[in-house]
Chain A
Amino acid sequence: MIIKSIGLENFRQYKGVQNVEFSTDGNKKITVILGQNTCGKTTLVRAFAWCLYGGEAADVGFKKGTQLINEEEYVFLAQKGEALNKSRSLSVTLVIETLVESDKVENENGVGPVIYTIKRKRDYTSTPRGVIPANDSFTIKKRVGLENEVEVKSKRDKEKIIEALMPRNLSQYFFYWGEQITDFDKKDLDSAVKSFLGLDVFEQGIKHLKTAKEDYFKEVYRYTANSTLQDLIRSREEKRTQEKALNIKLDEKKKEAEYYEGKFSQASQEFYTLKEKARGKEKLKEYEQNQKKYEDKCAQTKASFRKTFNHPNLPFFIMLNAEKRANKILDHNKDTSEGWVNISVSAIDEIIKKGTCICGACISGNQEVLEHLQNEKRLALPNSLGGIRELYTTVYENAEQGMMNYMVSVCKDLNAIAEAEDTLQVLRDDIEELNKKDYGEEEVEAKKKALEELRKLRDKASRETGALENQQKILKADLVALDKKITVEQSKESKRNLANIRLEVTQKVLDSMTQKKRMQEEEMSASLRELTKKYFDQIYTGCREIEIDKRFKLKVLNKVGSTKRENETSPGLDAVKNFAFIAALITIAKETIHSKSQNKGRHMEPYPLVLDAPFSQVDDTHIANICQMLVDEVEQTAFVMMEKDWHFAKQKISPYVGDFYVIDKKSETHSIIKKEDLL
């Protein structure tokens, strides 16, 4: 990729909008930006990473929570008052042209490169709680050839584009700020170089294949049969044979059960017919019991009749007509008007004679009482008849009232006797008739025994049938289970075979890939070492040599005679060796592009190199050498440096500088970037 421009708006020191256009001229491919200390050189370099990846991570260069908006704008927002609820934005916009062949599109509008306009923007808003940043907005617009720009909507597509343009883990090798050049050794060069050179693809592939191989191993193990399929099939055959034998036995037993069931049913019918006949005997017993009952009832009704007949008033019922005659006589008699009932003169005389009343009171010598008693004699029998007459009449009155009830009761009782006797007679006749019958009880008993025998035989056959049916069910269940097991085992076998094939293929691919990776790694490592040595020799003016170990760690060796020994390095020497290494990397990348164009496999986007104060630790001779090497090997370079460094470099690289800028520091919070002519 080639950076066409970067635009900064209110980003850190850069107040307002500042633009830098990078030279894309093939002959003048270097852009120089000069600036004093703290004017914003490092910020400018970090802005590239921030625009592409956002956030405030280490690889971007800003700590978390770093205030990115220009301080003056922030102060404006923080004062609240008029600024309350107002917002200010910061943004970084990168315009990038990609040179990868596949991104070049030929269409009706002609042939042209693909140009991406990438913008990251952050708003800060003044609120009563302070100045609060909003989430970043991130837009990518794409233009192909002469077509109009189209905004990329999908987040995933945006991520893909960024990853294709400049993978994040490689960005730190192309955007250097501060002392990074001298700190190069501290980085994980092994993984970085492999990734940079495309070797990580092999590693990832190998890793993936190893995982797959492990999975296939597990699969083979999982589908290893517990018992062999043949054993299961043999077992199933045995069960089937057993089932056939059992079915024959069961059919025979069922026939036997049916036979006994039929016999039992027939005998049962006969038994119940006989029993029904024998039930006449039971009926006889019932009748006999009823006879006893009705005999008792007859006796009761007869006793009741006699009791009713012997009514205490019976003589008076009989004499009712005579009483009428008697009353005619009494009606003519005056003596019957009053008197004591049941008290006779002789009784009173007896009391007087005893001198004591029946109540116990002593009347002897009590003249008044004696006189009273003597006087009362006139009302006693036989002097007065009133009392006895009244009693006589009352008895007959009661008799007359009760006579009809008596007659009714007598008649009812006699009726009841007659009815009971009639019923009894009928019963007796029935019993006599029933007694004459033959109930065949012996036959019933014999039949009952025969029936019991048949019942036992039938139940036995039924039980045995049930037991056989249970066995049949168990066998069927066993067969179903065996079928399932066989199906599972067959499936396992199939899967196991498949897994084995996959395992074999995976192993072959893995072996092939490992070998290829090793070869490629060796080839690439050899190229990288060779080129790094070559560039180091070009840049470095001393007698030291450079060595690269397997993990791409750079060592500088001091040569004394035939002895080579690792030497302690200085920042200047570190910068020199690292430039050599970077140049080697970029050279291999270029070769990769060429190889790809020739369909030789590897490919990689050419990368720009943006360096902040690259030569601060390097002497003028080495600056010249480094510049010459970068001009030769790098497609696009941007140097952000101090004037003193430029002084040493300009003589060597001026012919290759396309654009020249100066950062003008107006104040600690306000810098501007001005384009100037190269003098």
Chain B
Amino acid sequence: MMNILNDDLKFTGKAAEIMRKLAKTGGSQNVGGLNLFETNFTTFAVATAIGISRNETKEFTVKDSDNLATKILSGQMVQNSKIVEQLYITAMLTYKGNELSEEERITRAFRVPYLDTHSEEEKRLQKECVNILLSYTYAGLDVLNNYFEDINPNNSDAEELTNLAAVRMLFEIMNLTEEQIEELQPYMENI
């Protein structure tokens, strides 16, 4: 069990807006949302994965003063710790900063989360690593937003457009080979 990312994860501002637009609320239909993802955590995981896949990060700040905020409860984080762990490891190993050696990447990926943070240095390092992960999340949320920001949840065709956008997104971010795309062609006739 990692010693990091076990607490509530709070998003504010634009990030919160995107998450609330894309996900259901507490497993129920979110009126005024696209309800693409089952939970905020799914949105977080998919957004983070997109950021890592595209190796794109985004600077962010979380302000308590922001009127619009949403969060992923710690329970959700712990429940999905295996996914969080994989996201974290992949993010640390593939982080785009070239100043980090392979050893440092491995340490950040596998050792830092399990450290007993007795020292300030260790606490700082853990926080830096979490922020790196979240910078991928924010970048990914922007990518998601690009696909769905034009869809008005109140329109009757919102669901259809959301579904189409979701599939388009998958094709674009999955880095599919030509063979794989060809293999999927028969199933795309009506899309």
Contact = CB atoms under 8 A, between A and B. Distances in A.
Interface of A: 302, 305-306, 309-310, 312, 314-323, 325-326, 329-330, 332-333, 335-336, 342, 344-347, 349, 381-382, 385, 388-389, 392, 395-396, 403-404, 407-408, 410-412, 414-415, 417-419, 421-422
Contacts of A317: 174
A656 B52 CA distance: 182
Contact of A418 (B87, B159, B191): B191
B190 interface: yes
A415 B190 contact: yes
Contact of A403 (B53, B106, B174): B174
B89 A388 contact: yes
B170 A385 contact: no
B152 interface: no
Given A321-B53, A408-B187, A417-B163, A314 B46 contact: yes
Contacts of B50: 318
B73 interface: no
Contact of A318 (B114, B163, B173, B184): B173
A347 B87 CA distance: 22
Interface stretch (B7-15, B35-43, B57-65): B35-43
Interface of B: 1, 3, 35-38, 42, 45-46, 48-50, 52-53, 55, 82-83, 85-87, 89-90, 93-94, 102-103, 105-107, 109-112, 114-116, 159-160, 163-164, 166-167, 170, 173-176, 180, 183-184, 187-191
B102 A407 contact: no
A322 B174 contact: no
**When A and B form their complex, which 3 residue pairs have the shortest distance between CB atoms, in order from nearest?**
A382-B111, A411-B187, A326-B93
Contacts of A412: 187
B159 A302 contact: yes
Contact of B53 (A309, A319, A389, A411): A319
A344 B174 contact: no
Contacts of B48: 315
A417 B50 CA distance: 26
Contacts of A421: 160
Contacts of B176: 407
A392 B174 contact: no
Contact of A325 (B82, B93, B160, B166): B93
Contacts of B107: 382
Nearest to A410: B167
B3 A333 contact: no
Contacts of B109: 326
A314 B45 contact: yes
A326 B89 contact: yes
A332 B190 contact: no
B52 A392 contact: no
Given A411-B191, A419-B190, 20 more contacts: A302-B163, A305-B163, A306-B36, A316-B86, A318-B50, A318-B174, A319-B49, A319-B86, A320-B53, A326-B94, A326-B109, A345-B114, A382-B115, A389-B110, A407-B184, A410-B167, A415-B187, A415-B190, A418-B190, A422-B190
A329 B36 contact: no
A415 B87 contact: no
A655 B7 CA distance: 187
A315 B45 contact: yes
A51 B123 CA distance: 168
B53 A318 contact: yes
Contacts of A316: 49, 86
A309 B36 contact: yes
Nearest to A321: B175
A311 to B, nearest CB: 10
A310 B42 contact: yes
A582 B65 CA distance: 180
B190 A385 contact: no
A346 B116 contact: yes
Nearest to B44: A315
Nearest to B42: A310
Contacts of A419: 190
B110 A381 contact: yes
A410 B171 CA distance: 11
Contacts of A321: 53, 175
B168 to A, nearest CB: 10
Contacts of B188: 411, 415
A419 to B, nearest CB: 6
A365 to B, nearest CB: 24
Contacts of B37: 310
A415 B114 contact: no
Contacts of B45: 314-315
A346 B166 CA distance: 42
Contacts of A332: 102
A323 B35 CA distance: 29
Task: Identify the interface centre among A317, A322, A418: most chain B CB within 10 Å of its CB.
Answer: A322
A333 B115 CA distance: 20
B174 A415 contact: no
A316 B90 CA distance: 10
A342 B159 CA distance: 41
13 contacts: A302-B159, A302-B163, A314-B49, A318-B173, A321-B53, A329-B105, A346-B115, A349-B116, A381-B110, A382-B112, A414-B167, A415-B187, A415-B188
A322 B36 contact: no
Contacts of A389: 110
Contacts of A414: 163-164, 167, 190-191
A322 B102 contact: no
A312 B173 contact: no
Contacts of B3: 346
B163 A323 contact: no
